Structure 1
Amino acid sequence: MLDDFMIRAALAGLGVALAAAPLGCFIVWRRMAYFGDATAHAAMLGVAISLAMSTSVFAGVLVVSLLMALLVTLLSGRGYAMDTLLGVMAHSALAFGLVAVSFLSGIRIDLMAYLFGDILSVGKADLAIIWGGTALVLILMAWRWSALLMSTLNPDLAHAGGVSPKREQLVLTLALALMVAVAIKVVGVLLIASMLILPAAAARPLSRTPEVMAVMAAVIGSVASLSGLRASYIMDTPTGPTIVCAAAILFALSSLFRALRHTSTETPAH
């Protein structure tokens, strides 16, 4: 069954969607979109280091993404505006990564595959890495869900309940770095943050509780992955960007639904 490249691609897309769902919810709740960007863009530097040292790209991306996320966490609240700090770190990491790749001689690199993903070339080993990483992210999120939620919604209450917001931030950082390493093959460095944010943002108007929002984000991300993959196959378009376009369309439909519901519940003025 796994000899069919489309089936492998579909399984890879589903794996990334399921891992991105709970993380995306926390990124939306914490207003950390740039945090996801900074971590994802650092992956390009991890790719360059991995190729230069002839080691696993997954391991290199994971280590560099984790170091970037930890660095941003440590520097936050030390005199820098968070959006400025994250913007500087995100674009600097991507630029240094691209420059580092240009110095690699004797190594053929498909730069577009790393920037925008190459889901159609996913092999059985890639699937094992993607679903192994997805399982770890989901286990970590399920284990720390209550503590993460409390520290996100009310840090003072979390402190009073014996939960350290800083520790939960590190848990989120670890999960995000793992997610980036898993997703780079599917949607690439430039689109990872989109798959984190768009399904979660689309799920928000349709959900009444955090748990429902996480499940809805997983469903929307899965639908976007499968429909984007199918549309890419039919229209012969780049697969990673097409998946993100599908997620953007679902977000637009969700926003339209929210607007219509808000209009219908408004009481007419007398």
Structure 2
Amino acid sequence: MSKIVSVFGATGSQGGAVVEALLKDGKFKVRALTRNVDSPKAQALKAKGAEVVKADLDDSVDQLAKALEGSYGVFLVTDFWTVFQKELEQGKKAADAALKAHVKHLVFSTLSHCIKLSHGKLSVPHFDLKAEIEQHIRDLSAKNPEFVSSFVLAPFYAQNLSTYFVPRKGEDGSYSLSLPLDPSQGPMEIADINDIGPIVSGIFNDPKKFSGVAVPFQGSVVTGEQIAEIISKTSGKKVSFNFVPPKVFATFFPGAEEMATMFQFYSEFGSFPGKDVKIAQSLATQSTLEQFLTKNPIKLE
């Protein structure tokens, strides 16, 4: 009988990619956890062979443990942007529930601890809270050796260039990509978020090897100028890069201040300081930005 892997956020970008990869791999039964089991996305996963179960990270530890009952593995992803500071509580609860449900292997989607790595200079809550959840999970594994934990770290999503950070058309008809990515500092890691799926699947297939291991991944490491050049090449429209100082970018929209600090962290420290991206490359192939945008060109009107 196949072991069950339960996937939080199964209808989201990360969870959905993990469900797809696990189903394709075929070694595990997949339980897709979602708040709305009747949504079109949830029903599509059911049609592909996943068991769809209702679970909400606002549920109690007992309720979450019940949703995870019988699971060998759990993929956990949390979303700061819908609950903000509550993300820490939700992540800890889900980890506690996995332990209570006798889950053997938890894979958590974490991020760098910006405020710690920058020695207090740069605070990026949607990174830092995940790093705190990671530490809680590591503590649980240290106290309970049978509870194996592993971690995966995604960089800036290539998909963001078609949504939140799409190049804008100026009055003269030209396009510009405006980001607080300082050209005088380091380039930025970027990846197709769908590539997280095969990586996580590979981690679940080798719990001993990946016990306590953090696996970052990237498809390309690029400057703002290079991103604009690749968009130009793949969209057929000329796009130039416009560096916006972080303090200016911070005024653009609600949440922009945190985004500006995130880009500053990328520029100064990289997405995964001190971590080895070669591990992910040994598990699966990651698409370059040009490969991704060739398949999914940005529509610039």
Give the TM-score normalised by structure 2: 0.24
Return the structure number with greater strand share. Answer: 2
Return the structure number with greater helix share. Answer: 1
Return the structure number with greater relative CO, CA threshold 8 A, min gap 6: 1
